[in-house]
Amino acid sequence: MSMKTAQQYEDSLRELHFKVYLQGELITNPVDHPIIRPSMNSVKMTYALAEEPEYQDLMTATSHLSGKKINRFCHLHQSADDLVKKVKMQRLLGQKTAACFQRCVGMDAINAVDSTTFEIDKKLGTTYHERFTRFLLNMQEQDWTVDGAMTDPKGDRSLSPSKQADPDLFVHVVEKRADGIVVSGAKAHQTGALNSHMILVMPTIAMGREDTDYAVSFAAPADAEGIFYIYGRQSCDTRKLEGGDIDVGNKQFGGHETLMVFDNVFIPWDHVFMCGETEFSGMLVERFAGYHRQSYGGCKVGVGDVLIGATALAADYNGAAKATHIKDKLIEMTHLNETLYACGIACSAEGCKTASGTYLIDLLLANVCKQNVTRFPYEIARLAEDIAGGLMVTMPSEHDLRHPEIGKVVEKYFKGVANIPTEQRLRILRLIENITLGTAAVGYRTESMHGAGSPQAQRVMIARQGNLEKKKELAKAIAGISPE
């Protein structure tokens, strides 16, 4: 097959048998559930755009393994140009969905696991890379959406995995058998898990020898026996159950997060890519985090483009577009958004080849990119809320607008510029609300802070990669101080 159409992707999800709990109920059909469906539509867009001739250069690539045309989300980066195109693709998808399109985490995971397993095998003589390559070929041939699963619940953050009061607070091996391993535990904040075909699990932190059972990486079907999900709650999520489309803000697209639980799940050896090699857990975490921090220089920028456009429209509809301070705030929003994009492009352009041949971003610049993402979207959102005005969070519901009696009152008193229909004004304000405060805010504001690691995690990496000693030597040379 090599590439699925958008409809084939949706049909393939219907063949899976997820066990998922949402608001205390067991859901039998996640594809059509009104709260979950918009997130599936976002992933579906990654398939739909790959069918469009004008987006082929960004959305597709040539597999270095099979020579076939594949979706870029299944591709291992073979050049710095691939890394740049990844960021451009993510910006495009952010513009098309104004939401989290979820497939990035799997793409970042396969690239990190590829180079890490190669280096494990080179040093220890294992066969993880060969196993992973077979998995990757299947992923490319079937055009799977893969959910990269790294974040564990962690429990007491002051204790290592093996020292936790409950061993399941980190995913770990509970049994080794001749045919495979059995794992238990959970992964938290799993983006797009219910829209995925496969799960690619990785350790969440660097580990010591005492944590051998926790240094594990493997792949499993998303609906494997023993895996179940608890769906994460989002702000304003039940508006999707009300039947209208204005109050949701972005009716068609969205994202989702789940708690993914492994209840004694069997994994055959052919899908195990790390099992006890603690010395390489830090490498895998560092590389995955670097790729995912690069991703935010694309996806958040695309959503930012939509938010800036919506804010400019709100200014038009409010009759405030000509005010100098409004123009200046829109310029500032654009400046911040393009700065994020510049960081995403920079860490990509400075990428280099790893031992496996896969290209890795510049880790310092990727962490600088994500550190900016923990700040700039918040300021962009603040400025959007400033320009939109208080009506964004006080306007009545769509039911009031459609009401046979009070609808005319809503039409009259919530109109802005005379030639703009009141409904258009309400729609654009609800879109801004959705991105800054509603369900999309999970994938724009909060995810900007905590996705791909906390702000402090990036600062640790910036300190590690910043090479202060070299900078000291540069200063000594200019100041005329002899080297010691």
Give all domains of the chain, ordered by start, each with its CATH number. 283-469 (1.20.140.10)
Rounded average pLDDT over 72-88: 98
**Known binding site for FAD: residues?**
191
The span from the CA of 201 to the CA of 336, in Å, is 34
The span from the CA of 274 to the CA of 117, in Å, is 7
Clarify whether 117 is annotated catalytic. no
The DSSP element (H or E) to which 173 belongs, if any, is strand 172-177
Q: How far is CA 128 from CA 15, 106, 132, 134, 273, in A?
A: 29, 18, 6, 10, 5
Clarify whether 10 is annotated catalytic. no
pLDDT at 131: 98
* Among the listed residues 131, 129, 192, 141, the one whose alpha carbon sits nearest the alpha carbon of residue 357: 129
Give the active site residue among 116, 117, 257, 359. Answer: 257
- According to DSSP H, which parts of 350-454 are helical? 363-373, 376-388, 391-394, 398-402, 407-413, 422-436, 441, 447-450
DSSP designation for 150: -
Give the active site residue among 191, 258, 278, 439. Answer: 191
User: Is residue 293 within 8 Å of residue 453, measured between CB atoms?
Assistant: yes
- According to DSSP H, which parts of 201-249 are helical? none
SS3 state of residue 127:
coil
| pLDDT category of residue 314 using cuts at 50, 70 and 90 | very high
Q: What is the pLDDT of residues 315-372, one digit of tens each?
A: 999 999 999 999 999 999 999 999 999 999 999 999 999 999 999 999 999 999 999 9
pLDDT at 453: 85
Residue 448 has pLDDT above 90, yes or no: no
User: Is residue 278 within 8 Å of residue 211, measured between CB atoms?
Assistant: yes
How many alpha carbons fall within 13 Å on the CB side of residue 152?
28
Residue 307's CB is within 10 A of a number of other CB atoms, namely 27
Q: How far is CA 101 from CA 19, 84, 255, 256, 415, in A?
A: 22, 18, 7, 9, 34
Give the active site residue among 74, 100, 343, 347. Answer: 100
The torsion of the CA quartet 430, 436, 442, 446, rounded to 10 degrees, works out to -170
Rounded average pLDDT over 262-285: 98
Clarify whether 257 is annotated catalytic. yes
Give the active site residue among 74, 275, 299, 343. Answer: 299
The span from the CA of 42 to the CA of 62, in Å, is 24
Q: How far is CA 244 from CA 122, 249, 428, in A?
A: 57, 10, 15
**Known binding site: residues?**
191
Give the active site residue among 10, 97, 104, 369. Answer: 104
SS3 state of residue 279:
helix
SS3 state of residue 261:
strand
Q: How far is CA 335 from CA 93, 95, 379, in A?
A: 20, 17, 11
Clarify whether 197 is annotated catalytic. no
Specify the pTM: 0.96
Give the active site residue among 145, 212, 292, 422. Answer: 292
Residue 155 has pLDDT above 90, yes or no: yes
pLDDT at 47: 98
Higher pLDDT, 484 or 392: 392
Type of residue found at 411: E
Rounded average pLDDT over 284-292: 97
Token output for 146 = 């893969």
Token output for 341 = 């994009």
Clarify whether 299 is annotated catalytic. yes
Q: What is the pLDDT of residues 56-72, one digit of tens each?
A: 999 999 999 999 999 99
Residue 440 has pLDDT above 80, yes or no: no
Clarify whether 74 is annotated catalytic. no
